[in-house]
Amino acid sequence: MAHGGGMHGVGNEDQINLSKAEQKEVRARSLKLLFSLIRPVRSRLLLSFALVVVSQALRVVGPFIIAFSIDTALPAAIRDDQTPLFLAVGGYLFAALGTASLTSVFLRYAAKVNQDVLFDLRKRVFIHTQRLSLEFHEKYTSGRVIARQTSDLDAIKELLDSGSNEMVAGILYMVFTGTALILLDAPSFLIISISLIPLFFLTRWFQKYTRITYRRTRVASAKLIVHFVETMTGIRAVKAFRKEKRNDETYAGLVEDYRDVNAKVIQLFGIYDPALIAIGRATVAFILFFGGLRVIDGSIGIGVVTAAILYARRFYDPMEGLAMFYNSYQSASSALEKISGVLQEVPTVPDPATPKRLKKPQGHLEFKDIEFHYSNGKTILHPFNLDIPAGQTLALVGTTGAGKSTLAKLVSRFYDPTVGSVLLDGIDLRELDTHDMRRAIVMVTQEAYLFSGTVAENISLGKPEATLEEIQAAAKAVGVHEFIMSMPDGYGTDVNKRGGRVSAGQRQLISFARAFIADPAVLILDEATASLDIPSERMVQHGLKTLLAGRTAIIIAHRLSTISIADRVLVMELGRIIEDDKPAALIAGTGKFARMHQAWRSSLV
C-alpha cells in the first residue's frame, strides 16, 4: 500500500477531524479527480449550462409581466385598449412554455452527461482496484472495496441525478431574480440583501458541522458493509463456531452507530430548514410592509409591490432545494474523498517502463542477493541466493511463518524483493513484460477459486482460446475428467459462486486442470493439496507428475507425501534457508527435514 505524508491514499481514511492542512490536501485530491471526470464532457456541460440559463431567465420574466399587467395593461384595458393585455398574456404564455420545454431538454441532456461521468468513475474504480498490488488487497479488506463501489458511488449518483441540476437551476434563478428586482424595485432588493447576512452565518454554521457529520456517515456505512461481507464470506466458520449471536450484537452496534450519526444529520437539518424558512418569510413581510407604505404615498404601483413579493418568495424557494443539494453534496463529497484516496494508491509492483519480451521461457529461476520485508519494516526473508535450474521440481518445507509462501509470491511477482532481484531465464521479473511473465509463471493456491460459470469456462481461464478437446485433455491429465462427466451437464455444469456444486478437493482438481492447460514454464503449488483427502490426494499424485513434467516447479506443502515427487528440498525457518539437498540425502541426514520425515512416518503407523 502506498505510503506518504499527510492524507495520501487510504492510510487515514477513517480519520474524522482533519487539520486545515489535511482538509486542504483531501479537498485538492478530490477536486483533481472531479475535474478529470468533467474534462471529457465539458463541452456538453457548457451546452447544458446554456439551456438552463435561458430557461431560468424565461422563468424570472413572469412576475415582471404580472407587474406590467396590473399597473399598465389592466388600466389600458379599462380604457378599451386591449393590446397591452394581449401582449402581457402572450408574453407570459411564451415564457411559461419556453421554460417548460427548455427545462425538459436540459434535464434529459444533463442526465445523460451525468450517467457518462458516473460510468467513467465506476470503470476507473474497478480497473484501478484490480490493478493494485496484492499488498494493498491484503490490508484493505474486500468489504471496503465494495463500500467504495456501492454506497460511495451511490452517494455521488444521487448528487449527479438530482442535486447538481437543482443547484445550477437554483443559483441561476436567484441571480436572475435579484437582477430583475434591482430593475423593478431597488429598495425591495436592498431588503433581500440585508436578509442574506443572517443567512450567510446560518449556512456557515450548517456547513461546518455537516462536513464532519457526513464523514462519520461514510465511515459508519463502510464498517457496516465490511462486517456484512466478512460474515457472509466466512459463513461456514460463523456456523461452525456458533458466532451468529456475537455477530448479531456487533452488527446491531454498528447499525446503532450508523443510526446515531444519521440522526445528527437530521437534527442539523431540523435547525437549518426552519431557520431558512423564517428568514424568507420575514423578508417577504418587510417587503410587504415597506412596499405598502410606498403604495400609499403613491411612489410605486400595486403591480410593482405584487411582483416584488413574488420575487422575494421565489428567491427563497430554491434555498430549500439548495439545502437538500448541500445534503447530497456533503455526502457525495465525503464519498469522493474515499474514492480519490483509493485512486491515489499506486501499485507497489508496477509494470516495467520498457518491458523485455520472453517468447519461449525455459523456467530457469535465480534469486540474487534477495531480502524482503513488509512496509512496516518487519523482515520476512533474510539475505539469500538461490538457483533453480529449468525443469527442476523444488519442494519448500518448514513451519508456519518460515517464509515459504513469501518466497513463492516473489516468483509470481505478487511482491518485489526489498533488496536484490528474481530472474527468469536471465531477465529480472521487474523488467519482464507482464503478459509474458503471467504466461510463463502460474500459481495454484490452497483456496482454488472458481468463478461463476461452467466447469469448461473455469478450466479455460488458463488458456481462453482452448477448444473443448483441449479442456478435456487437461482434465484427463490431472484425473478429474470422470468426475466432471458425472456432473449434471458435464463440462457445461455451472459451478455457481465459489464452486458451490463441488467439494473443496474437486475444486482443487479443476484448478490443476486450469494450470495444466495454461502450460507454464514455472508452476507454483502453494499448499495446493492441503484441501484434498487421502483418496483424492492419491488420485492427484499421478496428475501432479503429468502436470510437473518438463517444467520448473515449486511445491509448498506440509504433507511430506506430496514432496516425494520433488528433485530437491529446501527447508526454511524464520525467513532463512537452513537445508538444501535431494530428498534422499536430507532424509539420511540428522537435520530438521530428517526429523520431520521421521515424525511423519511415525504418524502413519
CA 283/CA 312 separation, integer angstroms:
7
Predicted confidence band of residue 542 (pLDDT cuts 50, 70, 90): low
Query: How much of the chain exceeds pLDDT 70, in percent?
Result: 91
Query: In this structure, are residues 287 and 195 in contact, taking their beta carbons and an 8 Å threshold?
Result: no
For 406-430, the pLDDT digits (tens) are: 999 999 998 999 999 999 999 999 9
The dihedral region occupied by 369, where left means phi > 0, alpha psi between -120 and 50, and beta the remainder, is left
Q: Domain ranges for the chain, please list them.
A: 20-344, 365-604
Bigger pLDDT: 321 vs 54: 54
Q: What is the mean pLDDT of the chain?
A: 84
What's the pLDDT score for residue 194? 92
3-state secondary structure string, 231-277?
A: HHHCHHHHHHCCCHHHHHHHHHHHHHHHHHHHHHHHHHHHHHHHHHH
Residue 474 has pLDDT above 60, yes or no: yes
pLDDT computed for residue 81 by the predictor: 84
**pLDDT tens-place string over residues 234-291:** 777 777 767 788 888 888 888 888 888 888 888 888 888 888 888 888 988 998 898 8
Q: Of 390-399, 459-468, 550-559, which gets the smallest average pLDDT?
A: 550-559
Query: With 70 as the cut, is the pLDDT of residue 575 above it?
Result: yes
Question: What one-letter code names the amino acid at 269?
Answer: F
Fold for the domain defined by 365-604 = Rossmann fold (3.40.50)
Distance CA 497, CA 116 (A): 30
Predicted local confidence at residue 370, as pLDDT: 94
Distance of alpha carbon 197 from alpha carbon 521, whole angstroms: 74
Summarised one tens digit per residue, pLDDT across range 198-218 is 988 888 888 778 777 877 887
Burial annotation 357-380 (CB, 10 A radius, 16+ → b, else e): ebeebbbbbbbeebebbeeeeeeb
Q: Give the residue-averaged pLDDT of 113-117.
A: 87
Q: Taking residues 101-120, report their average pLDDT.
A: 86
Q: What average pLDDT does the segment 95-112 reach? A: 87
Give residue 307's pLDDT: 86
Three-state secondary structure of 501-563: CCCHHHHHHHHHHHHHHHCCCEEEEECCCCCCCHHHHHHHHHHHHHHHCCCEEEEECCCCCHH
Q: How far is CA 121 from the centre of its chain?
A: 9
572 phi and psi angles, rounded to 5 deg: -115, 150
Looking at 89-98, 468-477, 541-550, which range is the least confident one? Answer: 541-550
Question: Cα dihedral sign for 118, 122, 128, 129?
Answer: positive
Residue 498: per-residue pLDDT: 46
Residues 6+ apart with CB under 8 A from 416: 348, 349, 410, 429, 430
Phi and psi torsions of 582, nearest 5°: -70, 150
> Using N-to-C axis directions, what is the helix angle for 164-184 and 42-68, rounded to 10°?
40
Portion of the chain with pLDDT greater than 90, in percent? 18
Which set of grid coordinates corresponds to residue 29? 485530491
Quick one: which of 342, 423, 393 has its CA closest to 548?
393
Model confidence at 499, pLDDT cuts 50, 70, 90, reads very low
Number of H helices, E strands in the chain: 21, 10
Confidence band of 538 (pLDDT split at 50, 70, 90): low
At how many degrees (to 10) do helices 20-38 and 83-131 cross?
A: 110
Q: Which fold has domain 20-344?
A: ABC transporter transmembrane region fold (1.20.1560)
Structure confidence by residue, pLDDT tens digits, 279-324: 888 988 998 898 889 888 888 888 888 888 888 887 877 776 776 6
Of 306-320, 363-377, 508-522, 533-547, where does mean pLDDT reach its minimum? 533-547
Please tell me the predicted confidence (pLDDT) of residue 535. 67
Q: What is the pLDDT of residue 357?
A: 92
Q: Which of 414, 294, 405 is nearest to 349 (CA)?
A: 414
DSSP 414: S
The residue type found at 565 is I
**pLDDT in the model for residue 2:** 46
Query: Which residues, 6+ apart, have CB-to-CB distance to 153 below 8 Å?
Result: 118, 121, 122, 125, 335, 339
Please report the pLDDT score of residue 4 as a whole number: 44
How many Cα atoms sit within 13 Å of 211 on the Cβ side? 12
Extract the C-alpha cell encoding 357: 519480451
Q: State pLDDT tens for residues 342-385.
A: 898 888 888 888 999 988 899 999 999 999 987 777 889 999 99
Q: 425-459: per-residue pLDDT in tens?
A: 999 999 999 889 988 999 888 777 788 788 899 89
Distance, in Å, from the CA atom of 520 to the CA atom of 553, rounded to the nearest integer, reads 10
Q: The cell 471526470 sits on which residue?
A: 37
Q: Which residues of 406-436 are buried (b: 16+ CB within 10 A; e: fewer)?
A: bbbbbbbbbbbbeebbbbbbebbbbebbeeb
267 C-beta neighbours (distance < 10 Å), count = 12
Please state at what angle helix 468-477 crosses helix 534-548, rounded to 10 degrees: 120
Q: How far is CA 14 from the centre of its chain?
A: 15
For the whole prediction, is pTM greater than 0.85? Answer: no
**H, E, C per residue of 129-194:** HHHCCHHHHHHCCHHHHHHHHHHHHHHHHHHHHHHHHHHHHHHHHHHHHHHHHHHHCHHHHHHHHH
Per-residue confidence (pLDDT) for residue 13, from 0 to 100: 67
Q: CB–CB of 412/525 below 8 Å?
A: no
Residue 121 vs residues 67, 150, 366: alpha-carbon distances, Å: 48, 12, 41
Rg (CA), the chain: 35
Is residue 544's pLDDT more than 60? yes
Reference 381, options 417, 414, 413; nearest CA is: 417
